[in-house]
Structure 1
Amino acid sequence: MTPIDAIISLEWSAFDKVNNAGGRANCQDDFATFELMRKSQFLSWDKATRESYLDDLQRAKKAGRNLIQEKYARMMISTAPQEYATFEHTLPPLSAWQLSTIEAIITQQLEWREAFARVYPRMSSQARLIRTAEDSPSGTSFETYLRGELGTYSEATLQAYQKMIDDYVQRGENITTAAMQHTALLYGYESLAAAEQKLQ
């Protein structure tokens, strides 16, 4: 099993156990889509970040923590703030370094996400809304989702992730475009441009 497959297996097992206020979500029974979307993300990561995150998931499983449940719980600070206030104290606290690093990463990734939307508007329209200001009880933005996910990473993984983002910047590349390119290929398109054209 590759590290990516191992990550997806652990995430899926945790996702299957997520308790939703409104009952089990349909996406919790759709492994094929879950696998494709998560694989697209992890294919855009470097080896060090993947290995560190896999270690996080393995440690969490041994400790009885569900990082996927925690991710969705953290998102509720924006989508359901009153409910979030009732359980915020149960989530592992984040250090000042983690909070500042998360926000720096988000700033960069929002630039990339919006740049992607300008070049590939049709593909962008199939994804989440972009900014937290667009959140609603029924829809979570890219920014809020990313903030929730980054908040579940260990300091070691967050450090590796930050370095990976810095490397993308140095190369003049866009991690959103990289992930969406993988998505297009996994859906069977020849390229991201071909997928964009098909959505006309």
Structure 2
Amino acid sequence: MDDKMEVLKEIAEREYRFFERLQPTNPECKREKTFKFMRISRFYPYSLETLLSYLDDLIEAEKEGRNPLYEKYACMEGRMGIPEDKRGLIERIVQIEKSWIEELHGKYPHAIENKPEFQRYLACELSTFSVQTLERYLEDVERAKEAGRNLALESYLYTFSRLGYSSLEEVEEKFKKRALQK
């Protein structure tokens, strides 16, 4: 499987199967199309090599009877920690992605949230990845940073373009108007 969109769809499908087992209470999360769309958008900017490695992680977790989404939420709730062998990689990734979100929030404060929980969520999600996937993910992030790219921006642009927006400025204006009406 070497078509990026096919790999993204397979990742989203496998994640959704894990997610269904969690019995989510948020009705928006229960919508399969919404869940898959958001997961594809989240991973869209990453390299095929990283995506294939993550897909292998999901396949391996299923074989082992593990649920990576359960592990992510258990980590967020403090019931599971971040494995020691992954901490350094995760910290480096989170720092770069945090800077990207801060930059976007500065430009688009109504469209892009910068919640403190972002770092914890990202770290806990990354903790479910294998060391190999984390190394590839970090390579993607560092290469993008060196090239002046912002992978968070690319993910948001992908998301909003699929929702019919032509730019983040358009999204910002809409969210700003909505905030003023409250």
Residue type of the alignment partner of 2:173: Q
| 1:164 paired to 2:152 | no
Equivalent pair of 1:44/1:175 in contact (CA under 8 Å): yes
Aligned-pair CA distance for 1:19: 5.0
State the aligned residue count: 172
Which residue is 1:136 aligned to?
none
Write out per-residue CA displacement over residues 143-165 of structure 1, whole angstroms, 9 at most, x where no aligned residue: 11101101000011000000001
| 1:122 paired to 2:130 | no
> Partners of 1:28 and 1:178 in 2: how far apart?
23
Which residue is 1:178 aligned to?
154
Counterpart among 114, 127, 131 of residue 155 in structure 1? 131
Aligned-pair CA distance for 1:194: 2.0
> Partners of 1:195 and 1:164 in 2: how far apart?
27
Residue type of the alignment partner of 1:58: I
> Partners of 1:187 and 1:35 in 2: how far apart?
14
| 1:73 paired to 2:74 | yes
Which residue is 2:180 aligned to?
none
Q: TM-score, normalising length from structure 2?
A: 0.87
- Calculate percent identity across the aligned residue pairs: 31
- Aligned alpha-carbon RMSD (Å): 1.7
Equivalent pair of 1:113/1:130 in contact (CA under 8 Å): no
Structure 1: runs of 5 or more not aligned: 78-83, 132-140
> Partners of 2:115 and 2:144 in 1: how far apart?
20
Which residue is 1:192 aligned to?
168
Q: TM-score, normalising length from structure 1?
A: 0.80
Aligned-pair CA distance for 1:108: 1.3
Structure 2: runs of 5 or more not aligned: 178-182
| 1:44 paired to 2:20 | no
Which residue is 1:34 aligned to?
35
> Partners of 2:55 and 2:149 in 1: how far apart?
24
Aligned-pair CA distance for 1:72: 0.6
